Structure formats: structure tokens, C-alpha cells
């Protein structure tokens, strides 16, 4: 069966409505309604979402909200919150919201309150931060730690890496945190080149503690340390974050220095757990706690606010509208903030690993498009690279612009220009420029080459949302991340997907382990396809 939502009157009504919606131009919608911004914007807890530049009318939003009710998203929110095993293919609950929960009430999983465990690990993170920042934790030679290297990949890397960069303004002065993810030895080697074993601490971050990239990097880091300081140094220079304490111990890390988390935390939702340890070390525990509070505030907003003024719900419905009805295949995230430069990369895992799927909860194809390809770069850099295509490439590419009202690094003359560019881009994408306008512009310039008019036409009508944060700080970053997390969850429900598994990453891993002994020359290439055989041969010749 396809996604059951497809055959409901709510979906059918949207399918009928889209024919009219496609004939509308945003320029005309704005001209016809001076209050369009008021109608299509939401303010919540300091954030502003302006979706007036999306290709929607009041009727579109009414019908989308009707779909929300039909899909019973609130029922799924209830299942999520009550610890049901909604990740049915891995038989796991999904409780990452417990990691940032601020209330005194319990969060139950299997009849057991998870909050005491959550608080115990948070206390451990706090005391470790205190020990490092207070210079009580010393390396094997008695020197304090100045550099922390987080070794992890995917969810054990992207979240803390993105957030550490986003919160550079809050960085702890005495400790520098580095991130290594890639299996390519260049990643680790380039970081280690500037570090001293005596003052370096490694965090091996892996939910499973079996991930090939992480374990290879961890072994190489260990060898680098042992070569300088001997085997005895490992316990003062390695800590771990994992759900698999047995493997942590097997690696030689004292489990006293292991920070635990649980199966009910998905990798890409794990920033709030001990996976956030490098972030807490980078910005200090109090700031990490503010991030958790921001995430919790967004959860409350998502759980309790009616769909009309619910930020994650609105973003989810707009994504669905753009993807399934207007036909968008990609989605650009454009932060007008250098600090949020890694946000698109982080969201790629969050959204594409969660909802880049075709098989629905019933094991059958859902029968429609799911996650768009998410991409993006910070503005204004992107303006000088790919915005040409956004404006005149003829493709429908919905964009999220994200900006902060106040700069985190307030150099005079920068922030106003940054905002001017951000708002100018969304205005241009909305309004476009007609041939008549282009001709009039040229006519106003003496001797202007009039043949240029068609090159200066901008179709406009490109759907965009703009999210304004008061500033980029730990609390607002927590809100922002949880906003996209809850949007992703909601889209999974609407698309009838399990947003919490990732079977699509398995096949490549399986083939890589089969190829390794062949590339190492321990097994013959017999049985491989001609391309793979040819590629292996080319690398052998190149050696």
C-alpha cells in the first residue's frame, strides 16, 4: 500500500487546489494584500518565522493543516513522548527530547523514568568540564590539557562540530576543541601536526563503538600518543562517549571515563547527550545547559502549540507542499551567519538520513517524493557562487534564510549590510523582474544596450521562508536545532516513514568490507564487476 494519506480527502483537496496555486505569483499576492506578512508569520519565544514569501494562500494553509489533523501527527507526538518503540525497524523508542527536558516530571521508557540516568550523565559531563577547565585533569606528564580532539563521524561529529563553530563567541579561552571524522588519514594527520601529545585529550565518540572510520582514527591517535608517552598515558588522554561500554573497555579506555548514552537516542539526534561533551568543553557547561534549555523550550512549543502558530509544524507542512505538490526536488538552507556555516551540513544528515526513504512504515513504497536534497552555504558567500541559478536557473528551489537580529561578532559596518543582503535576496526571489521592468531600466540609461533586457529578467516566485533569531547564542541555537528536529519528525509522520532508522547506509559498508582484503592484495579480484576491477588495478599501478 502507498502512504494512506494519499487517498484521504485532505490530500485530494490539496491536489485539486495546487492547480490554482500554481497560477499565482508571489508578486501579485503581496500587491493584493498589504497584510500578507502579518497573516503568514509566526512569533514564538523570541523567534520570528516569516513564510509570507512561500507560494501559499490562506486556503493552502487551511488545507495543509487539515492534512496535519488527518495524519494524526498529534497522536504520533503522544507515542513519541510516551516512549513507544516508534522506531519499529530497530525496535527502539525515540526519546532524545528527554536529554534536554527541564521539568521535574518523569519521562518513561519501559515503565522506568529515564531522567535520573540523564541527570547522572549530565553531572558527569559537568564535573569533567570543571576538571578540564579548572586544570585539575592533568595529562600523563602532569600538564593541563589545552587541546581536545573529538573522534567521531555522522551524528557523533556533525552536531557538536556545527554547534562549536556556531558558538565561537562563547568559546572557553584555555581549551581548543578539534574534530576528526574522515577515514582519510589526512584528517587526523592535519590536526595532530599542530598538537602536543602531553597536552592533548582524545574523545572517542561512537554510539556503537564499531564504526570503521572512528575506530581507525582512534587506533591511529592512540599509536601517536603511545609513541610519545607510552602505553601508560592512554588512561589520562582518552575518554569515550558510547552506548557500548564493553567495546570501550576492550579499546583500553577506563570505563570510569566513559560517558554513557542509550539506544533510545538516535545518532543524528544525539548532540544533547554526552555526544555534546566536546561542545560543553568548548563553550563551558553552563552554556551547554542553556543550549539544552533552548531545545526544551522548542519541544514545549511543538508539543503544546496549535498547528496554526506552531513553528516546526508550519515548516513541515511547507516542505510537504513544496515537495509533493509544487514539485521541488531540493531545498537550500542559507544562513546569513558565518557562525552557522556548518548548519546545512548538519541538517543534511538530520533530514536526509531521517526521511531520504521510499519504504513506508508498512514495508511498501510510499508512492511519492520524500526528503528533498538539502544543501546550502552561508550568505553572502553563496551570492557570489550559486545564487545565479536560484534566480535564473529555471528550477523551483525553496530556500530557508536564517539571520540574527544582533551580530555575534559586532564589527562596525558589517551586520546591517549582511541583513540588507539577506532581505534583498528573498525579495528578489519573491518579486522577480519582468521584461517590461528590465526594458524600462535600460531605457533610463543613455545608450544602454537594449538587447540585454531578456538577460535581466528574473522570474521570481521562488518560495522562501526567513527565520530571525534575536542573536546566535546557546539558547537560540538550541531552539533552532530542535525546531529542525521536530520538523523532521513531523515530516516523517506525514510521509508515513520511520524517520529514525538508516538502512540505506548499510550496503556500502557491507561492500567496503568485502573489498578491503582485495585492495590489500590478500584476495583476488575474481567475481568483481569490470569497473571495480579496473579501479583497483589503476590504484595498484599508481603505487
Min CB(271)–ligand F6P separation in Å: 11
Binding track over 248-267 against ligand F6P, x by CB under 6 A: -------------------x
Distance from the Cα of residue 247 to its chain's centroid: 28
Nearer to ligand F6P, 185 or 230 (CB): 185
Q: Does 355 bind ligand F6P (CB under 6 A)?
A: no
Cα–Cα distance for residue pair 153/92, rounded to 1 Å: 21
**Residue 384: active-site member:** yes
Min CB(258)–ligand F6P separation in Å: 14
Interface region with ligand F6P, contact rule CB under 6 A, candidates 34-42, 190-198, 205-213, 534-542: 205-213
Min CB(496)–ligand F6P separation in Å: 21
Nearest to 219 by CA among 234, 207, 208: 234
Alpha helices by DSSP H, 253-407? 277-283, 285-304, 311-320, 343-347, 354-355, 387-392
Nearest to 306 by CA among 87, 536, 61: 61
**Residue 353: active-site member:** yes
Q: Does 502 bind ligand F6P (CB under 6 A)?
A: yes
Min CB(153)–ligand F6P separation in Å: 5
Distance from the Cα of residue 76 to its chain's centroid: 22
Min CB(226)–ligand F6P separation in Å: 23
Min CB(87)–ligand F6P separation in Å: 12
Min CB(171)–ligand F6P separation in Å: 25
Q: Give the CB-side neighbour count of residue 380, counting CA atoms within 13 A.
A: 12
Q: Using CB atoms, what's the residue nearest to ligand F6P?
A: 267
Cα–Cα distance for residue pair 476/200, rounded to 1 Å: 31
49 backbone dihedrals φ, ψ, rounded to 5°: -110, 115
For residues 217, 151, 146 and 271, what is the CA-based torsion angle, rounded to 10 degrees? 180
Q: Does 268 bind ligand F6P (CB under 6 A)?
A: yes
Q: Does 96 bind ligand F6P (CB under 6 A)?
A: no
User: What is the footprint of ligand F6P within residues 214-253 (CB under 6 A)?
Assistant: 214
Query: Which 3 state secondary structure label does DSSP give 482?
Result: helix
Nearest to 146 by CA among 195, 181, 205, 180: 195
In the set 127, 208, 255, 365, which binds ligand F6P (CB under 6 A)?
208
Nearer to ligand F6P, 385 or 505 (CB): 505
**Residue 439: active-site member:** no
Cα–Cα distance for residue pair 170/284, rounded to 1 Å: 8
504: number of Cβ within 10 Å? 13
Catalytic-labelled residue, pool 384, 506, 541, 543: 384
User: What is the footprint of ligand F6P within residues 115-154 (CB under 6 A)?
Assistant: 153-154
Q: Does 492 bind ligand F6P (CB under 6 A)?
A: no
In the set 178, 207, 236, 331, which binds ligand F6P (CB under 6 A)?
207
Catalytic-labelled residue, pool 260, 353, 377, 485: 353
Asked if residue 83 lies in contact with residue 108, where contact means CB atoms within 8 angstroms, the answer is yes
Nearer to ligand F6P, 310 or 349 (CB): 349
Nearer to ligand F6P, 353 or 473 (CB): 353
Nearest to 47 by CA among 309, 318, 393: 309
H or E element at residue 139 = none
Min CB(158)–ligand F6P separation in Å: 8
User: What is the footprint of ligand F6P within residues 155-194 (CB under 6 A)?
Assistant: 155-156
Interface region with ligand F6P, contact rule CB under 6 A, candidates 11-19, 208-216, 301-309, 421-429: 208-216
Query: Which 3 state secondary structure label does DSSP give 277?
Result: helix
141: number of Cβ within 10 Å? 13
Binding track over 25-64 against ligand F6P, x by CB under 6 A: ----------------------------------------
Q: Does 505 bind ligand F6P (CB under 6 A)?
A: yes
Cα–Cα distance for residue pair 390/378, rounded to 1 Å: 14
Nearer to ligand F6P, 205 or 453 (CB): 205
Cell numbers at 236, concatenated: 589520562
Distance from the Cα of residue 375 to its chain's centroid: 11
Q: Does 206 bind ligand F6P (CB under 6 A)?
A: yes
Beta-bridge partner residues of 260: 242
Nearest to 310 by CA among 10, 69, 26: 69
Min CB(211)–ligand F6P separation in Å: 3
In the set 60, 150, 211, 496, which binds ligand F6P (CB under 6 A)?
211
Cα–Cα distance for residue pair 504/500, rounded to 1 Å: 12
The binding site for ligand F6P (CB under 6 A) comprises: 153-156, 206-208, 211, 214, 267-268, 353, 502, 505
Active site residues: 353, 384, 509
Amino acid at each position: 500500500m502507498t502512504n494512506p494519506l494519499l487517498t484521504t480527502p485532505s490530500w485530494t483537496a490539496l491536489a485539486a487546489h495546487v492547480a490554482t496555486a500554481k497560477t499565482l505569483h508571489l508578486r501579485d499576492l503581496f500587491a493584493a494584500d498589504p497584510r500578507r506578512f502579518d497573516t503568514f508569520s509566526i512569533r514564538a519565544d523570541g523567534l520570528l518565522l516569516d513564510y509570507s514569501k512561500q507560494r501559499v494562500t490562506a486556503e493552502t494553509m487551511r488545507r495543509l493543516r487539515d492534512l496535519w489533523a488527518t495524519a494524526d501527527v498529534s497522536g504520533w507526538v503522544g507515542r513519541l513522548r510516551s516512549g513507544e518503540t516508534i522506531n519499529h525497524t530497530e525496535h527502539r523508542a525515540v526519546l532524545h527530547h528527554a536529554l534536554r527536558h527541564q521539568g521535574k516530571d518523569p519521562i518513561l521508557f519501559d515503565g522506568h523514568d529515564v531522567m535520573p540516568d540523564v541527570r547522572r550523565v549530565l553531572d558527569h559531563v559537568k564535573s569533567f568540564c570543571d576538571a578540564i577547565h579548572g586544570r585539575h585533569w592533568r595529562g600523563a606528564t602532569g600538564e593541563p590539557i589545552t587541546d581536545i580532539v573529538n573522534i567521531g563521524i555522522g551524528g557523533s561529529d556533525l552536531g557538536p562540530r556545527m554547534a562549536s563553530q556556531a558558538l565561537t563567541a562563547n568559546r572557553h579561552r584555555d581549551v581548543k576543541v578539534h574534530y576528526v571524522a574522515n577515514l582519510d588519514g589526512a584528517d587526523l594527520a592535519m590536526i595532530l601536526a599542530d598538537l602536543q601529545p602531553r597536552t592533548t585529550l582524545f574523545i572517542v565518540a561512537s554510539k556503537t563503538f564499531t564504526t570503521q572510520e572512528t575506530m581507525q582514527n582512534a587506533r591511529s591517535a592512540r599509536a601517536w600518543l603511545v609513541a610519545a608517552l607510552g602505553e601508560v598515558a592512554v588512561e589520562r588522554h582518552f575518554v569515550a562517549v558510547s552506548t557500548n561500554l564493553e567495546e570501550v573497555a576492550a579499546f583500553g579506555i577506563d570505563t570510569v571515563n566513559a560517558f554513557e548514552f542509550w539506544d533510545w537516542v538516535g545518532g543524528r539526534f544525539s548532540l544533547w547527550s554526552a555526544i555534546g561533551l566536546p561542545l560543553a568543553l568548548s563553550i563551558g557547561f553552563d552554556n551547554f545547559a542553556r543550549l539544552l534549555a533552548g531545545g526544551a523550550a522548542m519541544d514545549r512549543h511543538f508539543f503544546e502549540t496549535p498547528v496554526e502558530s506552531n513553528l516546526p509544524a508550519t515548516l513541515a507542512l511547507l516542505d510537504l507542499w513544496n515537495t509533493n505538490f509544487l514539485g521541488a526536488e531540493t531545498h537550500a538552507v542559507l544562513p546569513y551567519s558565518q557562525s552557522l556555516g556548518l548548519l546545512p551540513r548538519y541538517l543534511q544528515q538530520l533530514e536526509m538520513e531521517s526521511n531520504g526513504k521510499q519504504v513506508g512504515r508498512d514495508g511498501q513504497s510510499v508512492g511519492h517524493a520524500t526528503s528533498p536534497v538539502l544543501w546550502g552555504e552561508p550568505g553572502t558567500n553563496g551570492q557570489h557562487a550559486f545564487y545565479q541559478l536560484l534566480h535564473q536557473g529555471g528550477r523551483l528551489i525553496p530556500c530557508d534564510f536564517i539571520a540574527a537580529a544582533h551580530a555575534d561578532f559586532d564589527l562596525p559596518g558589517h551586520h546591517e549590510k549582511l541583513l540588507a543582503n539577506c532581505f534583498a535576496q528573498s525579495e528578489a526571489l519573491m518579486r522577480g523582474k519582468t521584461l517590461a521592468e528590465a526594458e524600462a531600466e535600460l531605457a533610463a540609461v543613455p545608450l544602454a544596450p537594449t538587447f540585454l533586457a531578456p538577460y535581466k529578467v528574473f522570474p521570481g516566485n521562488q518560495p522562501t521562508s526567513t527565520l530571525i533569531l534575536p542573536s546566535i547564542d546557546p539558547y537560540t541555537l538550541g531552539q533552532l536545532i530542535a525546531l529542525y528536529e521536530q520538523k523532521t519528525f513531523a515530516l516523517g509522520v506525514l510521509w508515513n516513514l520511520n524517520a529514525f532508522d538508516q538502512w540505506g547506509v548499510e550496503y556500502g559498508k557491507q561492500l567496503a568490507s568485502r573489498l578491503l582484503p582485495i585492495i590489500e592484495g590478500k584476495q583476488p579480484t575474481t567475481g568483481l564487476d569490470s569497473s571495480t576491477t579496473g579501479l583497483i588495478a589503476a590504484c595498484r599501478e599508481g603505487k
